[in-house]
Structure 1
Amino acid sequence: MRKSLLAILGLAMTFTMPALAHDAPSKPDWSFAIHGGAGVLQRDRMTPEKQAEYRTALQAALDAGSKVLREGGTSIDAVTAAITILEDDPKFNAGRGAVFTWEGINELDASIMDGNGRKAGAIAGVHVVRHPILLAKAVMQDGRHVLLSGKGAEEFAMDRDLEIVPPEFFATEERREQLERLKAKNLSALDVEFKYGTVGAVARDSAGHLAAGTSTGGMTGKRWGRIGDSPLIGAGTYADDASCAVSATGSGEYFIRVAVAHSICERVKAARRMTLAGETQDVPLTTEVLQGIVDGVIAEVGELGGDGGVIVVSPSGEPVFSMNTPGMYRGRATANGLNEVAIFADE
């Protein structure tokens, strides 16, 4: 009876699901993607030299994470390897080079999630931890809490011997000038930055485990302890081996309201399951189906008035991007040979 049922299921899938059966991509041994913020990134606003600088920086982070995965490392280690590089690069709004709050300080948020068991850690409002993503990882590994903030998070970092730096370590003159222009002319954060400030990475390792991480300095001139989506599990970061890993960048309030990262993963999980002859079966997920799901969630953000983008990797197929902005600093690589970085939406 069992063999007959399996034969019927196989026959049904052959005739009713040709696209899934024949068009599914070969599963890469590992997949990896990064982002460095989305926003009004247009060619006429960036010199060729500036574009080259960003592409080189993105490639360095992409290579760091890819090396971990290529050598058999974990998805979590790949994510942190890439994000720590981006946190140290003042071209990006995370760690050193973070934007200033209204009060003229750098206030850092980060989160990370392991799809293997859905373990997660996050921190918000820290000022002296060199690598916020490593603090988020330490919170996850400790396991007692998911989100720590402010002085308490910094005390936790010191207890874990994470690198502590003076607050001025994060400050750059360019970011200070952005805050001064915002205050002097009553501008919005986008008027002075042209992009949302977040970096992130998602990975699938050779063992099939997924991970996602996100780190940010927030938005220029933020006030009243404002926290966006980046340190919120389910909004800016989410990973589940049964569905996907997501890192987001954009207008955080809208990404929170749509629960972007979790919404994408839940829709992927639904797309990967189907019922035949009374039994639930896993089915392959094509890159085209994944792209459609991701684009749909970003469209919902746009309908509410929000802007931004995401990077996503699933248990099968290549990593994908989606954005409703003119550009997003991004890169992706797989064991199948894909290796690319891009800035503008039409690339």
Structure 2
Amino acid sequence: MNPSRIFRQPNKVRHALYAIGALAATFAITSVPALAGDSKQLGKTPVAIAIHGGAGTILKSSMTPEKEADYKSVLTQAVQHGYALLQKGEKGEVAVVETIKILESSPLFNAGIGAVYTFDGEHELDASIMHGGSKNAGAVAGVKTIRSPIEAALLVMNESPHVMLSGRGAEDYAKENGLEQVDNTVFDTEFRKQALDKAKARMQQVSSGYGSQQGNERFGTVGAVVLDQGGNIVAGTSTGGMTAKRYGRIGDSPVIGAGTYADNESCAVSATGHGEYFIRYNVAADICARMKYQGLTLNDAANTVVNDVLVKAGGDGGVIAIDAKGNVAMPFNSAGMYRASVDINGKVKVAIYKD
């Protein structure tokens, strides 16, 4: 389903359209085959992609078959779309942005439509992108009126002399450069409103108030990492942040090195989880540094940081990572992580639980 058509619908109609589309796609994803005409078969430089839709307490016992099919449908649509762009020779940053825009357009994830609510009942969105070849990067934080935050991050990377823009300034810059502006209510969903109500109820029961609202509602960040035909690796991340956040809180997603990082000499990483820990431990860049300076494999570096460093610190979440050879790692220390990938042979993997 074309996200641009859905954008023009009222919220209730738009969400219904997504449900119909997800149901129709369910029959196609029970066993996802390898994509036809993979890079090796066409004699092109191999390409690969991995995406995530957030990590957290995601249990099969609490997931209906219909909801599971919805998640798998959107993940499949997004990862296949990104892979197709890479096969056509599109640059990695284009594939990352167009893939993430599909996830931002789905009410299932905490990014764009479906973003969590702040304490005051609004949505403040963050996103970032980094190119592993040029080391160029762009990010926006705390924006409320930009349709696609990841598109704004790309604009900052490509056109601005800066790396990160925030709030009203970022919105003005996006508007001046022709990015679509919307009312903040476009991002509303009933599910996230209920999550806000639950978070506020917890806060009222604890004397320390703010900082005690943390529940599973904070998860759902989306991201993508790719290897393109030019041999470049690119990472991007987009999020609505943490439910009931206050005082302009910003997590790891727009922070280069914490939630997003890319270096052709090591890897590209997009993170999801409890952002404060990912910032403190510089998670995305740390994984790449362990590859670059310690000679670890992608899998070993990613697993060490996620399942050792973060666990010891008390942080939960996961990452998707890719290296210049197209190897993919998707470790997480939570019960589940919405994720999908297409490797250099065209093999598609879509998964949710720790299986």
Shorter-chain TM range is 0.7 to 0.9
Question: 1:143 Cα shift?
Answer: 3.6
1:311 to 320, 328, 333: 320
Task: State the AA in 1 paired with 2:302.
Answer: V
Q: In 2 relative to 1, CA 169–125 (structure 1 residues): closer, same or farther, beyond 3 Å?
A: same
Question: Secondary structure at the residue paired with 1:118?
Answer: coil
Give the direction of change, closer, same or farther, for the CA distance of 1:192–1:240 in structure 2 (3 Å limit).
Answer: closer
Q: Which residue of 2 aligns with 1:263?
A: 286
Which residue does the alignment assign to 2:351? 342
Offset at residue 124 of structure 1 (A) = 0.3
- Count of matched residue pairs: 305
SS where residue 82 of structure 1 aligns? Answer: helix
- 2-side partners of 1:192 and 1:330: how far apart? 17
> Is this contact kept in 2: 1:197–1:219, CA < 8 A?
no
Query: Structure 1: which 4+ aligned runs deviate by more than 4 Å?
Result: 187-190
CA distance in 2, matches of 1:182, 1:293: 35
- Secondary structure of 2:76's counterpart equals helix
Q: Which amino acid aligns with 1:96?
A: I
TM-score (norm 1): 0.85
Instruction: Output the CA distance in 1 between the equivalents of 2:123 and 2:311.
Output: 29
One-letter code aligned to 1:160 = N
**Are the equivalent residues in 2 in contact too, given 1:237–1:248 (CA < 8 A)?**
yes
- 1:136-151 aligned at under 5 Å gives the runs 136-151=153-168
Match of 2:144 in 1: 127
Give 1:54's match in structure 2, choosing from 64, 71, 76: 71
- Asked whether the 8 Å contact 1:330–1:342 carries over to 2, the reply is yes
Deviation at 1:70, TM superposition (A): 1.1
- 5 Å-filtered alignment, 1:232-247, equals 232-247=255-270
For structure 1, the residue ranges without an aligned partner over 5 or more in a row are: 1-25, 273-284
C-alpha separation between the residues in 1 aligned to 2:271 and 2:233?
Answer: 16
CA distance in 2, matches of 1:135, 1:69: 21
The amino acid that maps onto 1:227 is: I
Q: Could you give the per-residue CA deviations for residues 44-95 of structure 1, whole angstroms, max 9, x where no partner exists? A: 1101111111000100110111111111111111101110000010000000
RMSD: 1.6
Conservation of the 8 A alpha-carbon contact between 1:178 and 1:192: no
Counterpart CA distance in 2 for 1:323 and 1:192 is: 15
TM-score, with length taken from structure 2: 0.83
Answer yes or no: is 1:99 the counterpart of 2:116: yes
Structure 2: distance between partners of 1:237 and 1:192: 22
Tell me which moved more, 222-231 or 26-35.
26-35
Measure the CA separation in 1 of the matches of 2:78 and 2:288: 25
Give how far 1:257 is off. 0.8
Q: Give the Å deviation of 1:192.
A: 5.4
How far apart in 2 are the matches of 1:290 and 1:56? 28
Q: Secondary structure at the match of 1:322?
A: coil
Q: Is the 8 A contact 1:181 1:192 kept in 2?
A: no
Match of 2:299 in 1: 291
Q: Which moved more, 1:27-36 or 1:300-309?
A: 27-36
SS of the residue corresponding to residue 331 of structure 2 reads: strand
Counting only pairs closer than 5 Å after superposition, residues 1-347 of structure 1 correspond to structure 2 as 29-186=46-203, 191=215, 193=217, 196-272=219-295, 289-298=297-306, 299-346=308-355
The answer as to whether partners of 1:215 and 1:230 remain within 8 angstroms in 2 is: yes
